[in-house]
Chain A
Amino acid sequence: MTKEALQQLIGNWLPELEFTEEESQFLNIHVSPQNLHTLMSQLKSNPETQFDYLFCLSGVDWGEKLGIVYHLESTSKRHMVVVKVTTEDRDNPILDTVYDIWATAEFHEREVFDFFGIRFNNHPNLKRLFLTEDWVGYPLRKDYEDDVNMILY
């Protein structure tokens, strides 16, 4: 499906979705945290879209907000889409897990929790993945500071 066709189809599901192509080769969908899980399960199960392959899940610190970028591809239809979700609560960011939709998200979400401190509802095993359990702070956040191991600019 072309970007335009995808936008028209997905736009009918939820009225609040925002579509952009802001200097990117993919169609970007912005979704609110409340509707994230609904949209994601639709994207996977709808026979028109069939996004069964989550090939990249990245945490991003946008400054004011923390967010996650999901890169999705359909292995049968070979179209791609990007879903973005952000939360403004930097102290206690919580989002829904998509682990029940794509199994690969379990590890990727643990990585995001480890480096950005975003917690996931219903995640089966949410704990630090790379860093030790007693590590303080979330290193990939832009405001992270560490006296000893700081990567200097």
Chain B
Amino acid sequence: METEVVHTNFKSEEYFINMGPQHPATHGVLRLLLTIDGEIIKKVEPDLGYIHRSIEKMCERDSYQQIVHLTDRMDYLSANINNEAVCLAVENALQLEIPERVKVIRTIIGELTRISSHCLWWGVMGMDVGALTTYFYGFRDREMINDIMEETCGARLTMNYNVPGGLMLDIHPNFVKRVKDFIVHFKTKLPEYDRLLTGNVIFQKRTVGVGILSKEDAISFGASGPVGRASGYSCDVRKHHPYSAIDKVTFNEVLKTEGDTYARYLVRIQEMWESLSIVEQLIDNIPEGEHRVTTNAVIKLPKGEYFQKVETARGELGVYIISTGTKSPYRLKFRSPGFSNLSLLNHIAVGGKIGDLVATMATLDLVIPDIDR
């Protein structure tokens, strides 16, 4: 009969390890200082600033047209939505009347950006938990959106398509057709995503019940976007503070109540369906008209304070402008979704294993330039 061997010579001890700044699962140059006991995580402390460019300080120097260009270097996967946020803030401050055509195109482009960002997230998410195939599937479908963007504005990643007052260029004649082709294509591919990863037993074992965030904590930590909604917290800016043409379409805010990694995964998958439906509702109804209203070459905002929030693929982006009436803001603050979402990582990762941390990080969907502005 076997007897249990008790090792009295060995003590359990806590020690530090570094995860990052060059770790593939941190998706960028983020360093996590882990305090672990064996395989169990006791504390996670993020070390930030590896790519901080001081965008907020640069904004105090630049004109409002130039600031738009800096914003797509923050969360580069939601570049168009970031641009839109600054443009909306400036337009509201100047009380510009924006043509309906611009609003509709901005919304379509924004939702395409969201799908493209979620595609990339889905690919990387699979790769983080050991399914390499998803990476290629996600990038294949994202490529079609990138091609549409390239034809529309000449850039694939940092678009700078929005300017204060409207859009830099009108849409390409092929735009409507290509977007429709994409909708048809992607509707056949999304069920494939589910067949490949969602129902997979190994994937579910890695994600169900891991990294649970309660609704109260989600609100207290300022979680937003899919992270908040997976905890049952209704935080979609498009629902609560509609902007552009969002109030013209019907869509559901995807809510789950489990709050675990798997729920965050499902929310994003479902959001791609919702975004597709928004684009479908608008693509046949782009009104005719101007693509831009003229503004002064030097934009000076009236003295005062302006706040604009939009829903990026990661959550709530806030732009807070304090103007003293000059050509540059006195102070400009970006409230970035990734920053708040990162702050809750320690809370949900403690008590889990390092492997769980990787899965949890994947569904927080952090983009480091968004945190290190």
CB-CB contacts of B22-55 with A at 8 A, as 1s and 0s? 0000000000000000000000000011001010
CB-CB contacts of B193-217 with A at 8 A, as 1s and 0s? 0000000000000000000000001
Residue ID in chain B nearest A57 by CB atoms: B335
Cβ contact within 8 Å between A52 and B220: yes
Can you pick out 17 interface pairs between chain A and chain B where the beta carbons lie within 8 Å of each other? A22-B304, A23-B302, A23-B303, A23-B304, A23-B305, A53-B222, A55-B316, A56-B320, A58-B320, A58-B331, A104-B222, A107-B340, A108-B339, A129-B49, A132-B49, A151-B57, A151-B58
Partner of B49 from A24, A53, A131, A140 at Cβ < 8 Å: A131
A window 116-138: CB within 8 A of B:
129-132
**Which 5 A/B pairs are nearest by Cβ-Cβ distance?**
A23-B304, A104-B222, A130-B49, A58-B333, A107-B343
- Chain B facing A: main interface SS: mixed
Q: Interface size bucket, A side?
A: 20 to 34
The answer to whether the Cβ of B56 comes within 8 Å of any Cβ in the partner chain is: yes
Q: How far is the CB of B344 from chain A (nearest CB, A)?
A: 8
**A58–B306 CA distance with the chains assembled, in angstroms:** 13
Q: How far is the CB of B198 from chain A (nearest CB, A)?
A: 29
Query: Within 8 Å CB of B240, what residues of A?
Result: 78
Residue ID in chain A nearest B308 by CB atoms: A25
Q: How many A-B residue pairs have CB under 8 A?
A: 87
Residue ID in chain B nearest A106 by CB atoms: B343
Query: Within 8 Å CB of A26, what residues of B?
Result: 307
On whether A71 and B56 interact (CB within 8 A), knowing A55-B335, A130-B48, the answer reads no
Cβ contact within 8 Å between B322 and A25: no
- Chain A facing B: main interface SS: loop
Query: Within 8 Å CB of A56, what residues of B?
Result: 307, 318, 320, 333, 335
Cβ contact within 8 Å between B343 and A75: no
The answer to whether the Cβ of B233 comes within 8 Å of any Cβ in the partner chain is: yes
Q: How far is the CB of A138 from chain B (nearest CB, A)?
A: 11
Query: Within 8 Å CB of B342, what residues of A?
Result: 107
Query: Within 8 Å CB of A71, what residues of B?
Result: 307, 318, 320, 335
**A148–B109 CA distance with the chains assembled, in angstroms:** 40
The answer to whether the Cβ of B132 comes within 8 Å of any Cβ in the partner chain is: no
Partner of B322 from A53, A60, A111, A129 at Cβ < 8 Å: A60
Query: Within 8 Å CB of B234, what residues of A?
Result: 75
CB-CB contacts of B287-306 with A at 8 A, as 1s and 0s? 00000000000000011111
